[in-house]
């Protein structure tokens, strides 16, 4: 209520400056428009009242609200406007009012931060720093207006990472708006996050992870910081979308699982022998695993070379003698 009353006073203060002596209404019936949406920076007589002639309707009354804002014209102001312009209008109740609203859209926050960042980088700020501006709300501009942003003055303290800037926002249909903004530059680090929910034992594919930057103060030690650390690795626990991959949660994918049947290869010069065996433990590609030959019962050391395939190590003696 206080905001509406203050805006109404601003509009009323501008009313006596509007020209009088405009053409008479087109009809004897003049009706109040209780709710008005204006696109122009000026409120006109025809915005508040209907039943007017073209010339009368075009008479300017005062500045419209700022984009995205509204003002309320109360009964005393409406009556004063009607008398000044010779309108045969009288309020039907003591609380009649006209609400004037002007559409607006916020300037994209990232557009503003990009302009500020470019200026601060020239003063020594890290390009990857995140700008923290407490209480900042992007300004509103007319919906279709082309917006120009510029930093008119700025300062940056490398020791404290504190900054202050004066931002100028220019758009058609509104006066140049200037905002004084202050905040700090927060260091960021790259981290890898999941793009979807992944289950225990899944191997992370190229589409399952993406690289983002987060505030360094929010990242725990051990977080994966490059896609190479994650892609092709197997999960040791489930992970939800947008959760950071941790090195402790990743491992080399298993190609041989405990108790699985495997193909055993025994290679000698000019000769390759095969046998069926059972893995006695899990193994990733390139690691050594104990395998029991199903035919002889002998347990030998072998290298996991692919899914359910092992190569008996040269010169490996059975760990358990054949029966």
Please give the model's pTM, rounded to 2 decimal places: 0.64
Yes or no: say if 115 and 151 are a contact pair by the CB < 8 Å rule.
yes
195 pLDDT exceeds 70? yes
Query: Quick one: average pLDDT of 89-118?
Result: 93
**pLDDT at residue 13 in the model:** 42
Domains of the chain by residue range? 2-101, 106-186, 188-251, 255-312
Fold of 188-251: Type Iii Antifreeze Protein Isoform Hplc 12 (3.90.1210)
pLDDT at 2: 38
CATH class of 255-312: mainly beta
Neighbours of 281 (CB within 10 A): 13
E strand residue ranges, 176-315? 177-186, 188-194, 209-215, 234-235, 250-251, 254-256, 261-268, 271-279, 283-284, 288-293, 299-306, 309-312
pLDDT(322) > 70? no
Q: Are 29 and 51 within 8 A, CB to CB?
A: yes
Q: Please report the beta strands in 4-87, taking only residues with DSSP state E, as ranges in sequence order.
A: 31-32, 35-37, 42-44, 49-50, 60-63, 70-73
Q: Range with the lowest mean pLDDT among 47-51, 151-155, 224-228, 253-257?
A: 253-257
Same fold, 188-251 and 255-312: no
In sequence order, the 6+-apart residues with CB closer than 8 A to the CB of 110 are: none
Q: What is the mean pLDDT of the chain?
A: 87
pLDDT at 17 over 90: no
> Do the Cβ atoms of 59 and 19 come closer than 8 Å?
yes
The CA-based angle 298-275-304, given to 5 degrees, is: 85
* pLDDT given at position 19: 45
Question: What is the Cα–Cα distance from 156 to 121, expressed in whole angstroms?
Answer: 9
**Is 80 exceeded by the pLDDT of residue 318?**
no
Q: Is residue 77 pLDDT above 90, yes or no?
A: yes
pLDDT tens sequence across 250-301: 988 888 889 999 999 988 777 888 899 999 998 888 889 999 999 888 899 9
């Amino acid at each position: 209520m206080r905001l509406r009353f203050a805006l109404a006073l601003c509009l009323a203060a501008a009313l006596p400056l509007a020209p009088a002596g405009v053409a008479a209404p087109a009809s004897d019936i003049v009706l109040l428009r209780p709710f008005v949406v204006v696109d122009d920076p000026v409120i006109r007589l025809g915005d508040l009242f209907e039943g007017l002639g073209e010339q009368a309707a075009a008479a300017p009354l005062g500045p419209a609200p700022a984009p995205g804002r509204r003002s309320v014209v109360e009964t005393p102001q409406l009556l004063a406007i009607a008398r000044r312009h010779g309108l045969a209008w009288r309020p039907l109740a003591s609380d009649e009012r006209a609400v004037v609203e002007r559409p607006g859209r916020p300037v994209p926050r990232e557009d503003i931060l990009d302009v500020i960042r470019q200026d601060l980088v020239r003063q020594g700020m890290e390009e990857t720093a995140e700008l923290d501006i407490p209480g900042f709300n992007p300004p509103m501009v007319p919906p279709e207006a082309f917006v120009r942003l510029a930093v008119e003055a700025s300062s940056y303290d490398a020791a404290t990472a504190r900054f202050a800037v004066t931002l100028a926002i220019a758009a058609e249909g509104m006066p140049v708006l200037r905002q004084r903004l202050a905040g700090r530059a927060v260091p960021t680090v790259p981290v890898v996050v999941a793009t979807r929910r992944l289950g225990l034992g899944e191997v992370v594919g190229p589409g399952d992870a993406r690289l983002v930057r987060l505030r360094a103060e929010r990242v725990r030690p051990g977080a994966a910081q490059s896609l190479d650390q994650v892609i092709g690795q197997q999960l040791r626990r489930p992970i939800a979308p947008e959760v950071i991959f941790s090195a402790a949660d990743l491992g080399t994918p298993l190609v041989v699982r405990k108790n699985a049947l495997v193909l055993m290869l025994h290679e000698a010069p000019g000769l390759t022998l095969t046998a069926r065996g059972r893995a006695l433990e899990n193994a990733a590609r390139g690691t050594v695993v104990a395998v029991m030959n199903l035919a002889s019962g002998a347990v030998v050391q072998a290298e996991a070379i692919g899914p359910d395939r092992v190569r008996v190590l040269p010169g490996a003696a059975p760990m358990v003698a054949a029966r």
